[in-house]
């Protein structure tokens, strides 16, 4: 019979592979594509269960049309048709496997495949027609707008196009020949408040000493921001900003100068955002400067998990409090008093946890601070490795 999770994963892989790196490198776009894939599968299946053989209505609800608009704003809409067809091919192949498993009667099999092939191909054709109509409307709406013009220049810079700094600065109305820090702000709530995201971006800029943030909106639920400042806002200041924006999440890039710094800081913020999306914890704020090693080490997630399992041994499967205490202890220079302050715990509690953690570890802490510190950070962000 159909293994729904396995089919969803297989369709996701095919669609994202066809969509290309421009989409898969952005966790918000990739997540939207996956959600749309699954919605299409569920829509087609439930429609056929409810009314077998009848034409399935196109799936052109708000989520599907929303991602079409996002793709137009990023200049990526030409990949949509190819990606949908890739998903259709996988779904049809798996459906044929099921059909052959259900009956060996040639007449039944011919009828089943004939009816469902016409159904699934018509459904995708109708859905793509609706998406293309939305793409055309969005292009028309944005063609003369200043927002799309700014986003176009930003995308050129991020793609490494040789655009002169003077020309780009004039078109963006933002001076590029200075020190920048980039941020990506987004919301996962169903009806995001774009105004709240924008206010949070300006508040972050002010926390760094800038008057306001330069922003572009690649999608309704997210904002790319840059601010020119001599300093990067500290974690406490950023956390205070998020208290007034409970639905907003923020990834902060590293500081950089000029056009190259503008680009690199955004790419660092994007890498930080991807790590936040992969995290098993509900992380609302992260800074690239604090996560460089984790981001680099987790590029190959399977290898990162294997490294974590080997470094931590049984501690990988122990109480989370033991790992967090040891992680904080190593961060605080192996000082139990500072660790207790950082964790808001009693010093004796910290000492007891450290003693227990060292008992579980197969090897002593001495000489292993770097290895253990990285393994504990990876476990914190990716989750502890499973039994192996």
Rounded distance between C-alpha atoms, residue 4 and residue 288, angstroms: 36
What DSSP character marks residue 226? Answer: E
Q: Are 8 and 41 in contact (CB under 8 A)?
A: yes
pLDDT of residue 1: 47
The CA-CA-CA angle for residues 113, 115, 120, to 5°, reads: 90
225 phi-psi bin (left φ>0, alpha ψ -120 to 50, beta other): beta
pLDDT one digit per residue (tens) for the chain, 388 residues: 456 678 888 888 888 888 777 777 778 778 878 888 888 888 888 888 888 878 888 887 767 777 776 777 666 666 666 777 888 888 888 888 888 888 888 888 888 888 888 888 888 888 888 877 777 766 665 555 567 788 889 999 999 988 889 989 988 889 999 999 999 999 877 666 677 888 888 888 888 888 888 999 887 788 999 998 767 777 788 888 888 788 899 999 999 999 999 999 999 999 999 999 888 777 889 999 989 999 999 988 889 999 999 999 899 888 889 999 999 999 898 899 999 998 999 999 999 999 999 899 877 788 888 999 999 999 989 887 765 5
What DSSP character marks residue 57? Answer: P
Rounded distance between C-alpha atoms, residue 344 and residue 365, angstroms: 23
Q: Are 222 and 185 in contact (CB under 8 A)?
A: yes
- Residue 201 CB-density burial (10 A; 0-12 exposed, 13-18 middle, 19+ buried): buried
pLDDT of residue 338: 93
Q: Are 90 and 154 in contact (CB under 8 A)?
A: no
Nearest to 158 by CA among 58, 260, 62: 260
pLDDT of residue 129: 82
For residue 181, the cross-strand partners are 227, 255
Cα 79 from chain centroid (whole Å): 19
Which pTM value belongs to this model?
0.65
Task: Report, in angstroms and rounded to the nearest whole number, the Rg of the chain calculated over CA atoms.
Answer: 25
For residue 216, the cross-strand partners are 224
- CA distance to 150, 170, 238, per residue, from 227 (Å): 16, 16, 14
Rounded distance between C-alpha atoms, residue 176 and residue 150, angstroms: 13
Q: How many CA atoms lie within 13 A of 366 on its CB side?
A: 1
Structure tokens of 22? 């421009």
How many residues are recorded in the chain? 388
Rounded distance between C-alpha atoms, residue 197 and residue 192, angstroms: 8
Dihedrals phi, psi of 379, to nearest 5 degrees: -65, -35
Rounded distance between C-alpha atoms, residue 237 and residue 161, angstroms: 35
């Amino acid at each position: 019979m159909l293994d729904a999770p396995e089919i969803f994963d297989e369709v996701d892989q095919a669609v994202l592979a066809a969509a290309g790196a421009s989409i898969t490198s952005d966790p918000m776009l990739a997540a939207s594509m996956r959600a749309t894939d699954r919605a299409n599968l569920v829509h087609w299946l439930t429609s056929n269960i409810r009314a077998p053989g009848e034409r399935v209505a196109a799936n052109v609800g708000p989520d599907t049309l929303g991602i079409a608009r996002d793709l137009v704003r990023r200049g990526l809409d030409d990949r949509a048709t190819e990606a949908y067809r890739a998903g259709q091919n996988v779904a049809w192949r798996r459906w044929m496997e099921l059909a052959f498993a259900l009956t060996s009667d040639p007449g039944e099999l011919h009828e089943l495949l004939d009816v469902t092939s016409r159904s699934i191909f018509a459904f995708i054709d109708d859905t793509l027609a609706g998406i293309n109509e939305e793409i055309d409307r969005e292009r028309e709406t944005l063609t003369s707008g200043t927002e799309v013009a700014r986003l176009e220049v930003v995308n050129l810079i991020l793609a490494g196009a040789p655009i002169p700094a003077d020309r780009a600065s004039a078109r963006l109305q933002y001076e590029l020949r200075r020190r920048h820090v980039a941020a990506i702000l987004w919301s996962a709530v169903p009806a995001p408040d774009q105004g709240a995201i924008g206010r949070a971006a300006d508040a972050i800029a002010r926390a760094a000493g800038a008057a306001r943030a330069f922003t572009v909106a690649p999608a309704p639920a997210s904002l790319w921001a840059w601010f020119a400042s001599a300093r990067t806002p500290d974690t406490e200041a950023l956390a205070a900003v998020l208290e007034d924006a409970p639905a907003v999440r923020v990834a902060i890039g590293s500081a950089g100068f000029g056009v190259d710094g503008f680009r690199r800081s955004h790419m660092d913020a994007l890498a930080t955002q991807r790590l936040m999306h992969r995290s098993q914890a509900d992380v609302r704020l992260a800074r690239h400067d604090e996560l460089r090693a984790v981001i680099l080490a987790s590029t190959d997630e399977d290898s990162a998990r294997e490294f974590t399992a080997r470094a931590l041994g049984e501690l990988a499967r122990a109480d989370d409090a033991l790992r967090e205490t040891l992680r904080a202890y190593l961060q605080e220079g192996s000082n139990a008093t500072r660790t207790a302050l950082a964790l808001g715990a009693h010093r004796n509690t910290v000492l007891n946890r450290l003693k227990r953690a060292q008992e579980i570890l197969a090897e002593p802490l001495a000489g292993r601070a770097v290895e253990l510190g990285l393994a504990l950070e990876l476990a914190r962000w990716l989750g502890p490795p499973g039994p192996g």
